[in-house]
Structure formats: structure tokens, C-alpha cells
């Protein structure tokens, strides 16, 4: 299969479906209106509620939801073949993921920017709030822990990425000062900041920073600690000081990275290299792998549909979107942009890696031999460093055909992955703070009204999770399969809530979220049950307990949602706060 042809067909499909299905949902299903009041205007406080241009909030929202999810998931799932991976990414993102993200965003905007747990309590019943919060909070904790470890692993594997990633922080703060305090043009100055960041990428290539062990803590453990401290600080600062300007830089960085990969596909295809997909089309039973059904739908989350996205939509983005019509571009559009990234990841690990792969013993392989070496078994494909390396090497191979030195191309992609993981990490921490404050807002316990206390608790628990199996953060890695299930069951719960909400608005609008809710809920519960048998057989007690907790509370919420759906009169007027 020609990689360029697959890319062009997929991209054309995303654009078409945004114009057709996305606009249909916005106009006919959710009835977007410029006249409806939004929380960013009604509750503007200069810290969390800030009306923002849709281009800027798109950059923040996308960089927050993307992280390394659409990289890691496809890089694992390619072991089952590129055809099932691409079908799930394409269909899932259009019919499920974009509906989920956009729906969570607009319903939150119509409820003062409240989190999905509060929204579920309103549209289903109050009993579900605590159960939903359990799933939500576990998801956020694992996201914070895993993404902190992801960056730590990248820093350890690619020391050239360390300097650019850390220097992006002061660059972003200066950019925020120029835009919000001095009235500078956001587009112009963010491009200047991006150019300066790429200067640091080149410098980082020649000045790599590599840590050694300290006090018995390995390098990845030290980086994880530093990153958790950073997440605490970044998530308590006003969004205009660091979050928005850094994410605007990262949105440009995304465009550059995607453009380089796309140009690389064209350059390789029109040169003597011939970028062909070397991965098998379908490989239903790879060595040691779990069954493709249902685990394909759990392994590829971001890039197709991800419950974490609803937390970003309702946790931060809903407080910053300036008008309802902007929500379609931000919510639906950013999910399809993530599908574009996931598509390029498939090409990188299914075709780009075939351009050249060096084994640990120094042997240089190409074509199917290169892919087979990396994906010889599930165990070989499942390591975190291995997943990241598959994408970085494959993407760097494609970029190298443009004329960029391989070392610089590797640094560019390493910084790209680390920057996005950092955005997701501190966004997740910020949302944890919001969630804790909301949960205890109606109780006598008021300590979590203090953002430093709430953030400190969130960061501390994430750190405990990351280090639960050793100072190198292996505990977070061992929770990755559970994270996939929590993430997808959360998406199913949000879709179920949207279904009840839409039924209240009348007609058959609820079908657009109802069918995806049933499908994803069934696949995820199936995977949770299979995971339970694996955990019990392997003696993984902690994972087994957490898995049961997730199963019980998720089924509870799904049953409550079904009961509410069945007794809801389709003629009942909508109960939006606006």
C-alpha cells in the first residue's frame, strides 16, 4: 500500500466529514447560537474564566487533549495490522470521538463550565456524582503519573530534547506578557517564540543534558519528581501567564511537525525511496498479544475517542470559549486534527520505520525486516520506550528525506512529543483541582477551596502512583492497560449522559451519541472483564482491585443512565442553565 495515497484519502475524509457531519450536529442537534450566554463572559475572572479567540483556545484545547495518546496508542495497535488501526481511527474519530468532545464542551458551556461529573449528576441523578467522580479522578491521576513518566523517559532517551522543552516555559511566559500586558499581536509574536524554540532545538542537539542517579533514584525518577513540581506550579498559575501562550506555541509546533511529516511522505514518495507500508494489513493473532477484539478499541483511545478529552472540554476549555459557534471548531475540529496526527503516526510506524531501523547490536534493517524486528511480539511492542522510539525513528526517517539532518529530526520529534505530554500533564492536574473543589463544594469540608491544597493533594497522589513500583516510575507503566479501560469507560459514561441530555431536547437527536455509547460501553466492559482474569492469574492484586472498582462504579452509572433515559419524555423541554 502506498503511504501517500492512504494519507490523502484519510485527510480528504476528515475535511469532508467536518463540513458535513460536524456542521449538521452543531446546527441541527445542539442548535448553536451566538446569542446564548457563555461562562467565559458571564463569570470572567481573569484566571480560569477568560473569553478567548477561537484560534488560541483551539491551540490550547488540542495540545491538552493530544499529548502522547495519539502516538502511543497507534504505535501499539499497529501490531494487529494497519487496516484495523486506520478503520478505528477514521470511523471512531468522526462518529464517536468528535461527537463526544464537542458534546461535552457545549453542554458544559450551558452549565457554567462545570465538570462532567456535575453535569452527570444534573441530567441523570445526584447519586451518580460520586461514582462518576471515582472514574474521573482515577483517570486524571493515571494521566498525570503516566505523562510525567513519558516525558522522563523521553528526556532519558533523547537528552537533546531537555534544553528546548524547559526553555519553552520562560519563552511562553514572555509571550503571554507581550500579548496580554503589552497588547502584542498573538500570531506574530507566537511565531517569533516558535522560531526561538527551534533555535534551542538545534542548540540542544549539540548540548544534550543527561542526568545520573542521585540518592538511589534513577534519572527517570528524578525527572518525574521535577515534572510533578512543575505541574503543581503551572496548574496554579493564571491561564494567561503560561497555559495559553505555551499552548499557542505548541499549536504552531504541531503544525510544523505535521507539515514536516506530510512533506516527508511526499518527498519520499516522489524520490527513489518509495514510502510503502511494510506492516501487515491484518495480523489477528500476533505472538503474546491479547485478542484484537475488544483490545483494539481500548489500545487506540486518543486519535479515535478518549474520555480524558471530556475532562478538558468541561474542565478548562468550556471556561474560555468566547461563543457557542466557536465550540464546533474547537471541540469537533480539534478531535479530527488529532485523528490527522494519529494517521501520520500509523504511517510513521507502518512505513517510516521501514526506511531504516538500527537494532541494539548495531544491525541496520529496512523494509519488512525493520518492522518485524521492532514488532516481533507483543512484549517487544508494549514497552513505553519502544513505543516512543517507533514513532520518533519513523517520523525522523520521513523528515530526513526533506534534507534535515537525522539527529536534528530526532530532536525535533522528541521535543514535539515531550511538549505535548507536558501540556496534558499540567492540564490534567488543573482539572483534578477543579474536580476536588467541586466534589467538596456542598460539604462542610472547605479545605479544597484552596487551589494550592487541592493541587498539592492531586500531585502527591499522582507521584505515589508513579513510584508505586519503584523509584523509576514503573508503577505508572504497569497501570497502562487499566488506564485504557478507565479512559474508554469514561467516554462511554459521558456519551450516555449526552444521550439523556439530547433526549430531553426532543426528537431522535439522542441517536448520535446513543449508538456510540452502547458500542463503546460494550467493548470496554468486555475488555475490563478480560483484564480482570489476566490480573488475577498474574497475582496483580492492586490492579485487580482497581479494575473491580472501575467495573462496579461504571456499570452503576450506565444502569442509572439507562433508567433515566427510559423514563425521560422526549418532549420534555431542555434544562440548560442558559
Assign 511 a pLDDT band (cuts: 50, 70, 90): very high
Rounded Cα gap, residues 507 and 504, in angstroms: 9
pLDDT at residue 137 above 50?
yes
What pLDDT does residue 476 have?
A: 53
Q: C-alpha distances in angstroms, 394 versus 75, 160, 277?
A: 10, 18, 12
SS3 content of the chain, % helix, strand, coil (to 5): 75, 0, 25
What pLDDT does residue 333 have?
A: 96
Rounded Cα gap, residues 433 and 430, in angstroms: 5
Mean pLDDT score of the chain: 88
- CA gyration radius, the chain: 22
Query: Can you count the helices (H) and strands (E) in the chain?
Result: 26, 2
- Range of lowest pLDDT (24-38, 69-83, 118-132): 118-132
- Asked whether 420 and 68 are in contact (CB, 8 A), the reply is yes
What pLDDT does residue 571 have?
A: 52
Average pLDDT of 77-90? 96
pLDDT at residue 74 above 70?
yes
What pLDDT does residue 382 have?
A: 58
Q: What is the pLDDT of residues 23-54, one digit of tens each?
A: 999 999 999 999 999 999 999 888 789 898 89
Task: Answer positive or negative: Cα dihedral of 180, 182, 185, 190.
Answer: negative
Widest Cα–Cα separation across the chain: 70
Residue with more model confidence, 181 or 329: 329
What pLDDT does residue 86 have?
A: 97
Helix (H) or strand (E) holding 365, with range, is strand 364-365
- Asked whether 159 and 232 are in contact (CB, 8 A), the reply is no
The ranges assigned to domains in the chain are: 3-208+221-469
Assign 64 a pLDDT band (cuts: 50, 70, 90): confident
- Mention every residue, 6+ apart, whose C-beta is less than 8 A from residue 562: 496
3-208+221-469: CATH topology is Hydantoin permease (1.10.4160)
Q: With CA atoms as reference, report the closest residue to 328 among 26, 11, 14, 8.
A: 26
Q: What is the pLDDT of residues 346-368, one digit of tens each?
A: 999 999 988 887 777 777 878 88
Amino acid at each position: 500500500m502506498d503511504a501517500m495515497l492512504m494519507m490523502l484519502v484519510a485527510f480528504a475524509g476528515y475535511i469532508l466529514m467536518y463540513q458535513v457531519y460536524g456542521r449538521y450536529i452543531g446546527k441541527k442537534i445542539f442548535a448553536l447560537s451566538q446569542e446564548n450566554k457563555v461562562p467565559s463572559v458571564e463569570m470572567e475572572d481573569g484566571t480560569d474564566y477568560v473569553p478567548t479567540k477561537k484560534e488560541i483556545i483551539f491551540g490550547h484545547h488540542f495540545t491538552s487533549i493530544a499529548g502522547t495518546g495519539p502516538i502511543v496508542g497507534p504505535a501499539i495497535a499497529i501490531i494487529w495490522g494497519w487496516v484495523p488501526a486506520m478503520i478505528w481511527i477514521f470511523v471512531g474519530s468522526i462518529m464517536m470521538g468528535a461527537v463526544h468532545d464537542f458534546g461535552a464542551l457545549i453542554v458544559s458551556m450551558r452549565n457554567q463550565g462545570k465538570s462532567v461529573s456535575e453535569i452527570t449528576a444534573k441530567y441523570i441523578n445526584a447519586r451518580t456524582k460520586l461514582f462518576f467522580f471515582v472514574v474521573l479522578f482515577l483517570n486524571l491521576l493515571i494521566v498525570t503519573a503516566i505523562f510525567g513518566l513519558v516525558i522522563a523517559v523521553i528526556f532519558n532517551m533523547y537528552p537533546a530534547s531537555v534544553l528546548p522543552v524547559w526553555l519553552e516555559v520562560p519563552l511562553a511566559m514572555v509571550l503571554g506578557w507581550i500579548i496580554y500586558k503589552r497588547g502584542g499581536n498573538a500570531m506574530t509574536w507566537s511565531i517569533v517564540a516558535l522560531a526561538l524554540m527551534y533555535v534551542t532545538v538545534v542548540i540542544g542537539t549539540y548540548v544534550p543534558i543527561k542526568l545520573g542517579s542521585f540518592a538511589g533514584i534513577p534519572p527517570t525518577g528524578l525527572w518525574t519528581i521535577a515534572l510533578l513540581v512543575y505541574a503543581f506550579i503551572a496548574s496554579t498559575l493564571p491561564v494567561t501567564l503560561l497555559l495559553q501562550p505555551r499552548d499557542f506555541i505548541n499549536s504552531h509546533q504541531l503544525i510544523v511537525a505535521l507539515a514536516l511529516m506530510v512533506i516527508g511522505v511526499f518527498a519520499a514518495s516522489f524520490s527513489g525511496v518509495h514510502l510503502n507500508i511494510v506492516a501487515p494489513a491484518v495480523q489477528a493473532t500476533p505472538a503474546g498479544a491479547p485478542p484484537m477484539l475488544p483490545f483494539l478499541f481500548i489500545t487506540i483511545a486518543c486519535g479515535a475517542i478518549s474520555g480524558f478529552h471530556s475532562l478538558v472540554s468541561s474542565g478548562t476549555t468550556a471556561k474560555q470559549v468566547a461563543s457557542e459557534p466557536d465550540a464546533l471548531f474547537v471541540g469537533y475540529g480539534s478531535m479530527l486534527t488529532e485523528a490527522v496526527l494519529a494517521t501520520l503516526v500509523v504511517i510513521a510506524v507502518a512505513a517510516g520505520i521501514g526506511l531504516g531501523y538500527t537494532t541494539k547490536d548495531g544491525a541496520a534493517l529496512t523494509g519488512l525486516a525493520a518492522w518485524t524486528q521492532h514488532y516481533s511480539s507483543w512484549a517487544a511492542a508494549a514497552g513505553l520506550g519502544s513505543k516512543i522510539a517507533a514513532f520518533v525513528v519513523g517520523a525522523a526517517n520521513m523528515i530526513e528525506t526533506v534534507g534535515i539532518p537525522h539527529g536534528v529530526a530526532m530532536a525535533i520529534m522528541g521535543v514535539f512529543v515531550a511538549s505535548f505530554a507536558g501540556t496534558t500533564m499540567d492540564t490534567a492536574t488543573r482539572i483534578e483541582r477543579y474536580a476536588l473543589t467541586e466534589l467538596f463544594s456542598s460539604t462542610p469540608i472547605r479545605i479544597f477551596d484552596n487551589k494550592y491544597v487541592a493541587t498539592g493533594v492531586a500531585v502527591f497522589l499522582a507521584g505515589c502512583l508513579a513510584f508505586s513500583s519503584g523509584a523509576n516510575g514503573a508503577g505508572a507503566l504497569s497501570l497502562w492497560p487499566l488506564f485504557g479501560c478507565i479512559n474508554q469507560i469514561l467516554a462511554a459514561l459521558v456519551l450516555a449522559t449526552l444521550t439523556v441530555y439530547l433526549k430531553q431536547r426532543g426528537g431522535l437527536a439522542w441517536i448520535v451519541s446513543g449508538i456510540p455509547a452502547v458500542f463503546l460501553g460494550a467493548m470496554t466492559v468486555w475488555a475490563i472483564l478480560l483484564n480482570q482474569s489476566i490480573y488475577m492469574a498474574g497475582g496483580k492484586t492492586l490492579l485487580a482491585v482497581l479494575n473491580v472498582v472501575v467495573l462496579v462504579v461504571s456499570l452503576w452509572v450506565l444502569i442509572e443512565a439507562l433508567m433515566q433515559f427510559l423514563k425521560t419524555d422526549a418532549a420534555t423541554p431542555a434544562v440548560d442553565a442558559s
